[in-house]
A and B are shown apart, each in its own frame.
Chain A
Amino acid sequence: GEKVEQHESTLSVREGDSAVINCTYTDTASSYFPWYKQEAGKSLHFVIDIRSNVDRKQSQRLIVLLDKKAKRFSLHITATQPEDSAIYFCAASMTNSGTYQRFGTGTKLQVVP
């Protein structure tokens, strides 16, 4: 089955700098790659996704890049702010199917002033 690896377990950046979180996946059939954010003591919520028909997607300060050849996708957070501090999870699945999303192990991002 699909395996998703999230390479950075922790990441610390200065406020205003960019943060990059990298994930790889194994199943070439995966075509949907969402990112979820978990703030301290809270649940997860969706922040951005990318589908395999594009290689870049941006939503305000969040950019997701997808390299299908390398089976790698990444979340870029530009102009980081303290409220970006959280655990970020990547996931992978086939779209609109009966399968489910496999999650990475999470990256704890700390934005320091």
Chain B
Amino acid sequence: EAAVTQSPRSKVAVTGGKVTLSCHQTNNHDYMYWYRQDTGHGLRLIHYSYVADSTEKGDIPDGYKASRPSQENFSLILELASLSQTAVYFCASRGTGQDTQYFGPGTRLLVL
């Protein structure tokens, strides 16, 4: 079974503060993704990466940066957190040549 872990599992941040969400996978997958989940919007892709040291923008990248320092690790960075970034964030991985994505447990972020 593929393994994707996220930390922290929940976080309370202040508006204007910096937030870093971390994701680690042990699947040896090349592709990693960051999504946010909001009621009524489903899952929306923020950033993704298919190789270390490179990231790509998804559908809603504004206000977020991503970092992929190694194949196993993918971070999502909110430089100036805003109220509208309160959501649940999911990381996922996928192997090259495969279609199924494996999701992490999620991080619940509350920005006050």
| A interface residue numbers (CB < 8 A to B) | 1, 6, 9, 32, 34, 36, 42-46, 49, 89, 93, 95-96, 98, 100-106
Residues of A contacting B44 with CB < 8 Å? 103
Are the CB atoms of B99 and A45 closer together than 8 Å? no
Whole-angstrom distance from the CB of B15 to the nearest CB of chain A?
26
Within 8 Å by CB of B106, from A6, A43, A46, lies A43
Count of chain A to chain B residue pairs whose CB atoms are closer than 8 Å in the complex? 49
> In whole angstroms, how far apart are the Cα atoms of A78 and B12 in the complex?
41
Nearest A residue to B106, CB-CB: A43
The verdict on B58 contacting chain A, using a C-beta distance below 8 Å, is yes
Residues of B contacting A46 with CB < 8 Å? 100-102
Residues of B contacting A104 with CB < 8 Å? 42
Are the CB atoms of A44 and B103 closer together than 8 Å? yes
Residues of B contacting A36 with CB < 8 Å? 101, 103
Are the CB atoms of A93 and B105 closer together than 8 Å? no
B21-62: CB near A (< 8 Å → 1, else 0) gives 000000000000101000011111100101000000011000
